[in-house]
Structure 1
Amino acid sequence: MTEAELYSVYKGVYLPSFLHTLESLRYYEEFSFRSDDIVIVTYPKSGTTWMQEIVPLIRSGGDLTAIQMLPTWDRVPWLEEHRASVLNLEDRPSPRLFVTHYHYSMMPPSFLKVKPRVIYVMRNPKDVFTSSFHYYGMTSYLVKPSTQTEFLDKFLNGKIMFGSWFDHIKGWLNVNDKENIMYISYEEMIRDLKDAVARIAQFMEKPLNSEVIQKIADQCIFKNMKKNKLSNYSLVPREFMDQTKSEFLRKGIVGDWKNQLTVAEAEYFDKFYEEKMKNVQYKFAWD
């Protein structure tokens, strides 16, 4: 199926119509944030599910009930997806936990006024591309790649869901008031998950002792997350997400793009990246 059949265009980016209805987008536009809300922000396939496992465990002080009772999409819901409006989010106690794939330019008026805390997760775009390529191939609500090269062009030019990785990351890095934003990368979390958990807990103003931090880190390593049916998307019907084609939680590693991209594709990617990011001063963990 084509983009016209599966996607709607919202604020200049493609969104899968199956997950993002007009009613759900209106709900997000009118949503009332609180200053102590914690919003995980990612470009798709950048460590979203991982953070949806870590952050609730920090808030609960390591109590595993937080990830054993609710599926990922209900424990830390996407505000722009259709389920948000039926979860009674207004009644949830503070600090509420949310996630969004929105660009900064897409954030609603209440967010800009209240300025809740944001955890912005970044990942090497080559690995984002690789993960996306497999993900698009196993879902029924996204346009399947015809070839890898064709999908690469779509990815680099922002012709996929949630638009350009480059626009997304530059928009969030260029926020004037960064006091309430924590920037962290997938690569940092892979390198030292315990340290990442400790830093996130500090940002959330949720002091934890070293034993609890270790417990959370142990629970959130990839092989353990992959076993959690409330996190590995095995509850999603096969008609929407066919994990016989590719697992949702696939490898959880850094640098898998080297197994995916051809030499020519990697060089093409590098040239595109250098041009798009030439004025960005941020030091990325993958550089």
Structure 2
Amino acid sequence: MTQRKLYLGPLTDSRRWDMVTIRSDDVIVVTPPKSGTTWMQTIVALLLSGDPDIEPELSVKMPWVDIRIREMAEVAARLEAMPHRRSMKSHTPLDGLPLHDKAQYICVFRHPLDAHFSFRSHVRNIPMSWFDHWYPEDDPDGVTFRRFLDGGPEGFDTDAMPLVK
């Protein structure tokens, strides 16, 4: 695949992957939000370390590359400095990621309705009001659910989780 699709939203940016040099032994966990990402990252951490008591520190040791919260130069430098087999996380669909022939991509999916309602619950626990527009607490007309059913995966308007991801 030569041309990657752009996935860009207020929270994520697939172009951040341009600063990551993929190694042939990398493991990249690719999931839509609320579809088993942390669960799979923990399994990968256990498999790579061989230590059942490992403290995975997922956000540091297995960074979410797409998220804009951390400076990408710092994330890329931390990844580059890792001498061991690395693992990373992405919520970007595969057509937006750099694909390396020998790297391993683990894709996990969950029933879309379960993921949607889990995500709605998840954003209620985030102390940031900017999700309120996309996921209002009261939604008597079902706008949030309709957006989920009809939304495109590109994320240009939101980082909401549409069905087609």
CA contact (8 A) 2:65 2:90 kept: yes
Q: Is 1:36 aligned to residue 36 of structure 2?
A: no
For 1:132-162, what per-residue CA distance to the aligned partner results, in whole angstroms no more than 9, with x for missing partners? 1112223216522231611101111226416
- The equivalent of 1:132 in structure 2 is 119
Number of aligned residue pairs: 146
Q: SS of the residue aligned with 1:122?
A: coil
Task: For 1:28, give the aligned amino acid.
Answer: W
1:59–1:12 CA distance, 2 compared to 1 (3 A): closer
Deviation at 1:113, TM superposition (A): 4.3
Deviation at 1:12, TM superposition (A): 5.2
For 1:237-277, what per-residue CA distance to the aligned partner results, in whole angstroms no more than 9, with x for missing partners? xxxxxxxxxxxxxxxxxxxxxxxxxxxxxxxxxxxxxxxxx
Q: Which structure is higher in RCO with an 8 Å CA cutoff and minimum separation 6?
A: 2
CA contact (8 A) 1:57 1:66 kept: no
CA contact (8 A) 1:57 1:63 kept: yes
If the length of structure 1 is used for normalisation, what is the TM-score? 0.45
- The equivalent of 2:73 in structure 1 is 85
Q: Is 1:95 aligned to residue 93 of structure 2?
A: no
1:141–1:31 CA distance, 2 compared to 1 (3 A): farther
- The equivalent of 1:116 in structure 2 is 103
CA contact (8 A) 1:13 1:162 kept: no
Q: Is 1:151 aligned to residue 148 of structure 2?
A: no
Q: Distance between the aligned counterparts of 2:23 and 2:79, measured in 1?
A: 11
- The equivalent of 2:9 in structure 1 is 14
Gaps of 5+ in 1: 1-9, 169-287
CA contact (8 A) 1:40 1:119 kept: yes
1:106–1:64 CA distance, 2 compared to 1 (3 A): same
Q: Distance between the aligned counterparts of 1:143 and 1:151, measured in 2?
A: 11
Deviation at 1:125, TM superposition (A): 0.5
1:162–1:76 CA distance, 2 compared to 1 (3 A): farther
CA contact (8 A) 1:28 1:80 kept: yes
Deviation at 1:13, TM superposition (A): 4.7
Deviation at 1:80, TM superposition (A): 1.5
For 1:183-240, what per-residue CA distance to the aligned partner results, in whole angstroms no more than 9, with x for missing partners? xxxxxxxxxxxxxxxxxxxxxxxxxxxxxxxxxxxxxxxxxxxxxxxxxxxxxxxxxx
1:163–1:63 CA distance, 2 compared to 1 (3 A): closer
CA contact (8 A) 2:26 2:85 kept: yes
Q: SS of the residue aligned with 2:28?
A: strand
More helix by share: 1
Q: How does 1:120-199 map to 2 (within 5 A)?
A: 120-139=107-126, 140=128, 142-144=130-132, 145-146=135-136, 147=139, 149-158=142-151, 160-161=158-159, 164-166=162-164, 168=165
C-alpha RMSD of the superposition? 2.5
Gaps of 5+ in 2: 153-157
- Identity within the alignment, %: 27
1:80–1:64 CA distance, 2 compared to 1 (3 A): same
Q: How does 1:202-221 map to 2 (within 5 A)?
A: none
Deviation at 1:32, TM superposition (A): 0.9
If the length of structure 2 is used for normalisation, what is the TM-score? 0.75
- The equivalent of 1:76 in structure 2 is 62
